[in-house]
Amino acid sequence: MKSSAAVESIGETAARFGLETHVLRHWEDEGLLRPVRDAAGRRRYGDDDSVRVAVILRNKAAGMSLEQIRVLLDEGAHDRHRVLEEHVAELDRRAADIAQARAMTEHALRCRAHDITACPRFRSHVADVLSGEARWLLATTEPMGGPIPSPPTEATRAN
């Protein structure tokens, strides 16, 4: 049920959240928003719609895709818990990456080495990357990135 307390146009709602109106239209096309229409067919956003916009923005900032957010907002989604558990695991992985980056940066800040890459303790912060054990999406650091390919194995070298 839609709340009628505060009703805004698409332009007013977009401006309130610092968005372009096409973003709200896209989210509606994706099934994330369902604003009511007035007699002239114009979208009217109520309090419930504003809450959904805030949820979308907060979860996009946390790295969720629109598909994941759609599942989050769909109270009847059968795979809701699985999607949310996977996202929690991804957030935990990102938190560990941030903690590692912070430790590396703090070490670099205090290290007396002129060439930080020559410092054995500093190198320990990138040992997993050097060994090929670390995996992440380059998209988190490179605009057009993708998954880092696995190092070749005996099986793949034979092909």
Find the DSSP H helices in 18-79: 21-29, 47-61, 66-73
Residue 3 lies in a domain: no
pTM here is 0.67
In this structure, the answer to whether residues 128 and 150 fall within a common structural domain is yes
Token pair recorded at residue 64: 């969720």
Q: Which of 73, 98, 115 is the last residue of a domain?
A: 73
Q: Which of 18, 49, 73 is the last residue of a domain?
A: 73
Residue 109 lies in a domain: yes
In this structure, the answer to whether residues 86 and 150 fall within a common structural domain is yes
Q: Is 18 left (phi over 0), alpha (psi -120 to 50) or beta?
A: left
In this structure, the answer to whether residues 154 and 90 fall within a common structural domain is yes
pLDDT at 120: 81
Residue 155 to residue 75: CA distance in whole angstroms: 45
In this structure, the answer to whether residues 93 and 37 fall within a common structural domain is no
CATH of the domain at 67: 1.10.1660.10
The angle, 0 to 180 degrees and rounded to 10, between the axes of the packed helices 47-61 and 10-17 is 40
Which residue range(s) make up the domain with 34?
10-73
Least confident range from 2-16, 21-35, 127-141: namely 127-141
pLDDT at 121: 83
Is the pLDDT at 155 greater than 90, yes or no? no
Q: Tell me: the pLDDT tens digits for 118-138?
A: 888 888 888 888 888 876 544
